[in-house]
Chain A
Amino acid sequence: MAQQDFSKKKALLIEDMAEARIMQRKMLTDFGFTSIDIAMKAETAIELLRNHSFDVILSDYNLGNGKDGQQLLEEIRHSKLIPHTATYLMVTAETSIEMVMGAIEYQPDGYITKPFSQAVLQRRLSKLLETKERLLEVNMALDANDFDKAILTAKRVSKKHPSLLGKCERIIGESLLEIKEYKKALSLFNKTLKNRKMPWALFGKAKTYFLMGELEKAEQNFRQLMLDNRFFVSAYDWLAKIQVKNDKLEEAQATLIEAVGKSPKNILRQMELGKISLLLNDYVAAEMAYRRAVFLAKYSCYNTAEVYLKHLESLARISDSGPLLPRQKDNFENTLKKVHESFFDDPDNKAKTYGYEIDVYLADNDKSTAKQIFEAWLSEVKSGSATPPNKQQTAIFTKSFGS
């Protein structure tokens, strides 16, 4: 094993417990890191990752009350906040390894189990960096979305370094999916499965069938994955996607409710549940899902207007069948405030917000406030800063105000 020079690498250490943080920081310094940024929670880490680049990320699985290390990893990988060339090492306890290994879709480059000595950490990091060096060309191709090149280079690496065969196969399979070579991908995943029952290969196979539109086969394989891997909650998301495609919205909703029960902190899952519940006119379920999404959005990569507007919409639809409860009204006001703070420059967002507000006041039979808001809206339409109400809205509102 070649000695690694850590002095030029930039490290990010994410750990909520002070004692462990100090210890790990000391370890990293002792074996040569000179640039170490620290985050005490996932939210801070996301901010740092947005504005800086790192070569090595050392994150604890357990990060206190917010997101855990796995959710952080999923979010930053999904939104491409870290390149493939960076190394992500997850620090786990014996209890959390299964959660990390079971998350087939997004896995860290390596993990290290507590307690560990400085020598063990140094060794583990050196090896991971060595592997990254061997895969450098492949990962650069992936970062450049050049999947043909990724396949070509991965094949070369797997010949040269047989111990990286599994990693290369996986990269090739996933790249084939990206360039829509479904048949080739399927044959590769099947071949891997014949020899080794690797969960990523089964996941790849299921995903391939999904992309080919063979929903029945896809469902069969996703269900197998769920049976084999208790901790792979993403399989539920895929199953729900299949059910939506098959127009079985109730089933999709039930699937997502089960998934949310297992892992409630995934914002995209909450939003999907909210969306499907809205389609089913199940506004109470929609409101709950979007309320959680609003809570999760604040420090996440998915802090978009949609989360907040959909929460307002679901409350507005609840108000269609009667005034909101005081608690619901508080929720509405809170989310409304957040829209005003961050998303109110957009004319469409403004129009939607005004519409929901008027709905809620009308449900309360507070016609004068509703009317005021409507007039404010119309004047903003004149100045061009808000989208006008649609015909249906205009008709309903003017009728309600009796103007």
Chain B
Amino acid sequence: MKKIDISTILASAIHESKNQVGTLLYQLQSLKDAINNNDAHQKKIISIEESLKKLNDEWVEYLYLYKLASDGYELHVDTFLLDEFLDDQVFALFPSAKAKNLELEYVCDPTLTGVFDERLMTAVVSTAVYNALRFAKTKIRISATKNADFLVISVEDDGKGFNQSDDQQDVFLEGNTGLGLYFAELSATAHVIDTVKGFIKKESSLTLGGANLSVYLPQPSADHSISFK
């Protein structure tokens, strides 16, 4: 019998499941529209909605992970204003944070621009934030800075942080399989300028005291003028 490529099959199975999650979300939306705003069930519905959104985002992460790992991901980079990009991320993830009574905010220089794959970095940030949601006590912060020739996107929380003495990822990914960090790493290394590759760093948060996951993305040499002769 011909050997079956199980990862390809899993990837398409995830696609199928993801589509069903999408249908469920739409149906839930019409349910939400149909019932009264102060209905006692409203809260329950929102909680189901948040869980489904998270599930959807996780499926997306796994699909990209599969593509990155099998060299099937085509990177599409473009220039973005970080203020807009991070605002988008907070906008999308805010309801999940609110449901857990956590603050979610972003900080960056309003003029900062960066070159990266938007879809991939959206998935990386949401993975990191979902993870931080499990450990933060009160607050999660997403930030972006320029560090030499790298754009650094960080997700910090005020939880107990990475336990450096423990064997690596155990604490950060308690009850998890470590896929999240692996995904962040593959996404970072997929960004290449000349021969410089992106990378990730796990640190303690200086400002919030908890964990800090930073993604370093190489940037083209600073030259924002259009010139031609």
A191 touches B227 (CB 8 A): yes
C-alpha gap A165/B79 in the complex (Å): 7
The reply on B164 being an interface residue by CB < 8 A is no
Question: Which stretch from B17-25, B128-136, B137-145, B196-204 is at the chain A interface?
Answer: B17-25
B76-125 contacts to A, CB under 8 A, are 76-81, 84, 87-88, 91-92, 111, 113, 115, 119
Q: Report if A172 contacts B (CB, 8 A).
A: yes
A390 at the B interface (CB under 8 A): no
A117 to B56, CA, bound (A): 13
In the assembled complex, the CB of B144 is this many whole angstroms from the nearest CB of chain A, namely 13
Q: Chain A, 338-363, contact with B by CB distance < 8 Å: what is the 0/1 string?
A: 00000000000000000000000000
Contact partners of A166 in chain B: CB under 8 A:
78-79
Q: A115-B26, A117-B29 are in contact. Are A162 and B74 (CB under 8 A)?
A: no
- Do A115 and B21 have beta carbons less than 8 Å apart? yes
User: Contact: B220 with A196, CB < 8 Å?
Assistant: yes
- A176 on the interface (CB 8 Å rule)? yes
**Among A26, A188, A230, A231, contact of B226 (Cβ-Cβ < 8 Å):** A188
Interface status of B167 (Cβ within 8 A of chain A): no
A20 to B29, CA, bound (A): 11
Q: Closest chain A residue to B91 by CB distance? A: A123
A-chain residues with CB within 8 Å of residue B91 when the two chains form the complex: 119-120, 123
For residue A183, give the distance in angstroms from its CB to the closest CB of chain B. 8
- Per the CB 8 Å criterion, the residue count for chain A at the interface is 46
Known interface pairs A162-B111, A184-B229, A188-B228; A94-B79 also in contact (CB < 8 Å): no
Residues of A within 8 A of B92 (CB): 120
The reply to whether the CB of B224 lies closer than 8 angstroms to some CB of chain A is yes
Interface string of A109-134 (1 = CB under 8 A from B): 00000110111100100010000000
CA distance A151 to B125 in the complex (A): 36
Q: Is A331 interfacial (CB 8 A cutoff)?
A: no
Q: How large is the interface on B (under 10, 10 to 19, 20 to 34, 35 or more residues)?
A: 35 or more
CB pair B228 A184 closer than 8 Å? yes
- Our pick among B30, B113, B228 for the contact of A163 (Cβ within 8 Å) is B113
- Pairwise interchain contact A198-B18, C-beta atoms closer than 8 A: no
Q: Is the CB of B224 within 8 A of A195?
A: no
Contact A162–B21 (Cβ < 8 Å)? no
* Nearest CB in chain A: distance from B221 CB, A: 7
A165 touches B26 (CB 8 A): no
Min C-beta distance of A99 to chain B, whole Å: 11
The contact string, 1 if C-beta is below 8 Å from chain A, for chain B 203-229, is 000000000000000001101101111
Q: Once bound together, how far apart are the Cα atoms of A286 and B123, in whole Å?
A: 47
Instruction: Report Cα–Cα, A120/B60, bound state, in Å.
Output: 17
Residue in contact with A93 in the complex, picked from B19, B29, B193, B224, CB distance below 8 Å: B19
Which chain A residues border B60 with CB–CB below 8 Å?
94
From 36 to 65 in chain B, residues with beta carbon under 8 angstroms from any chain A beta carbon are: 56, 60, 63
**Apart from A1-B84, A102-B74, A188-B227: 13 A-B pairs, beta carbons within 8 A:** A23-B29, A26-B33, A94-B15, A98-B74, A114-B22, A115-B23, A117-B29, A163-B84, A168-B226, A195-B193, A196-B77, A198-B77, A228-B74
Residues of B within 8 A of A (CB): 15, 18-19, 21-23, 25-26, 29-30, 33, 56, 60, 63, 74, 76-81, 84, 87-88, 91-92, 111, 113, 115, 119, 193, 220-221, 223-224, 226-229
Interface residues of A (CB under 8 A from B): 1, 19-20, 23, 26, 93-95, 97-98, 101-102, 114-115, 117-120, 123, 127, 155, 158, 162-163, 165-166, 168-169, 172, 176, 183-185, 187-188, 191, 194-199, 228-231
